[in-house]
Amino acid sequence: MKAQPTLQQSIKREFAFTIMDVARLLKTYADQRARQFGISRAQWAVLIRIERTEGLKQSELAEMLDLQPISLTRLLDRLAGSGLIERRADPNDRRANRLFLKPAAKPVLEQLAALGAGMMETVLSGLDDRGIERMLKELGLVKDNLRSAIQRNSTQQQAAIG
């Protein structure tokens, strides 16, 4: 006979499912909303990351966004074709490109910022600022715990191999 999960185990499992559902739904909603500007959520994410850290390498951006280099290259090709970004050769590494926004990206990013603010008003409706701050702090702790666990597992796997 299978043991029934305790209430505590059920709540913890439900937490994981809820986080995954919220992330999936937020991605779907962002994709729907971004379409009005003729871009995808993935392109939006690329633009925001480049805006935050102009001059980063394509490989760094792929790692940040957890994308395969070929998938990122396609996104960058579309954004470059739209005149929103440019690739510049890295002066220290001839195999690498660094990414920069073009002037045409500024109004698009302003529109996307307003769109994002409106989306989050809808998403966080019914929550007060204190609740949002608390949730953000607690999710930050969950994120840190996951990063630590991933690092430990990676270290253990490397030790087992080597």
**Angle between helices 58-65 and 41-52 in degrees, nearest 10:** 120
In terms of residue numbers, what domain contains 143?
128-162
What are 99's two structure tokens? 């990414």
**Angle between helices 69-81 and 41-52 in degrees, nearest 10:** 90
Flag whether 9 is in a domain: no
Predicted TM-score of the model (pTM):
0.76
Do 61 and 49 touch, CB atoms closer than 8 A? yes
**Coil, helix or strand at residue 81:** helix
What pLDDT sits at residue 3?
A: 67
**Which CATH number does the domain housing residue 66 bear?**
1.10.10.10
Total domains in the chain come to 2
Clarify whether residues 145 and 100 are in a common domain. Answer: no
pLDDT tens-digit map of 55-98: 999 999 999 998 998 999 999 999 999 999 999 998 888 888 99
pLDDT tens-digit map of 120-148: 999 999 999 999 999 999 999 999 999 99
